[in-house]
């Protein structure tokens, strides 16, 4: 093989993208859930004291859902969708949504770092509150953003229900 053979036969190798977990998802990754492929377009990292958790904005067509992941005593993963529910501060001890009662589990203030579509949140704080129904099968999550209180309805899932395809390294 001559000089040109050596020049043109070399394979360019790209490093393989790192394997993703629900705690290391990045903007541009693809998350498959319930037979639908979602692009990760936003990521929020929440920090309250030494505790950290993540919210990933997933987009498929015009549908947006949020994937929540945190390592508490064990890995907790949930899917959330924004809902309309009028709430004001101070956050109440109970909420009713869709004829079901939800009870306050925890509340606090978290510093946030946003990426992608959530980049405008970088360096802000949110007052949050988490509620669950009696069976802990459904959740309500409240977050204050300026004068607005955003409410999301969610439910727990298992990490094995997700397939994560890295969009980059």
Question: Who contacts 168 (Cβ-Cβ below 8 Å, separation ≥6)?
Answer: 17, 26, 28, 29
Q: How confident is the model at residue 14 (pLDDT cuts 50, 70, 90)?
A: low
- The reported pLDDT for the residue numbered 62 is 93
Q: Is the dihedral of CA 112, 57, 166, 70 positive or negative?
A: positive
Cβ atoms of residues 102 and 96 within 8 Å = yes
Residue length, the chain? 169
Give me the percent of the chain exceeding a pLDDT of 70: 89
Q: What is the pTM of this model?
A: 0.87
State the average pLDDT over residues 107-125: 92
Q: How confident is the model at residue 122 (pLDDT cuts 50, 70, 90)?
A: confident
Lowest mean pLDDT among 78-82, 122-126, 149-153: 122-126
Condensed to tens digits (0 to 9), the pLDDT of residues 76-114 reads 999 999 999 999 999 999 999 999 999 999 999 999 999
Condensed to tens digits (0 to 9), the pLDDT of residues 49-60 reads 989 999 999 999
Cβ atoms of residues 36 and 48 within 8 Å = no
- The reported pLDDT for the residue numbered 121 is 84
Cβ atoms of residues 117 and 109 within 8 Å = no
């Amino acid at each position: 093989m001559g000089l040109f053979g050596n020049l043109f036969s070399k394979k360019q190798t790209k490093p393989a993208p790192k394997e993703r977990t629900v705690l290391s998802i990045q903007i541009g990754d693809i998350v498959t859930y319930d037979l639908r492929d979602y692009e990760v377009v936003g990521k929020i990292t929440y920090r309250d004291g030494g505790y950290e958790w993540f919210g990933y904005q997933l987009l498929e067509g015009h549908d947006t859902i949020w994937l929540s992941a945190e390592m508490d005593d064990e890995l907790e993963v949930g899917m959330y969708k924004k809902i309309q529910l009028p709430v004001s501060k101070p956050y109440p001890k109970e909420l009713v949504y869709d004829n079901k009662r939800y009870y306050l589990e925890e509340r606090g203030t978290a510093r946030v770092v946003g990426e992608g579509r959530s980049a405008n949140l970088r360096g802000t704080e949110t007052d949050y509150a988490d509620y669950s129904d009696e069976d802990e099968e459904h959740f309500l999550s409240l977050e204050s953003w300026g004068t607005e209180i955003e409410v999301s309805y969610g439910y727990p899932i298992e990490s094995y229900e997700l397939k994560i395809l890295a969009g980059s390294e």
